[in-house]
Amino acid sequence: MWQDEVLEEIYKIREEHAKSFNYDLHEICKDLKKKQVAKNRKMITQPLIKLPS
């Protein structure tokens, strides 16, 4: 079976990150948000588009 080395590396990093927070999704998200702020990245949001009925 074909394996993608890049995806395997991403899965490994993701697993290590989750394990470091004991797989607590709340703590994982807090850490990712903290990293986002530290790198001064902005979230881009768009208003929802209402579709015609």
Confidence tier at 26 by pLDDT (50, 70, 90): very high
Give the residue-averaged pLDDT of 43-53. 78
The per-residue pLDDT for 49 is: 81
DSSP 8-state assignment for residue 49 = P
Residues listed for the chain: 53
Cβ-proximal residues to 31 (8 Å cutoff; 6+ apart), any chain: 17, 21
Q: Is 0.75 surpassed by the pTM of this model?
A: no
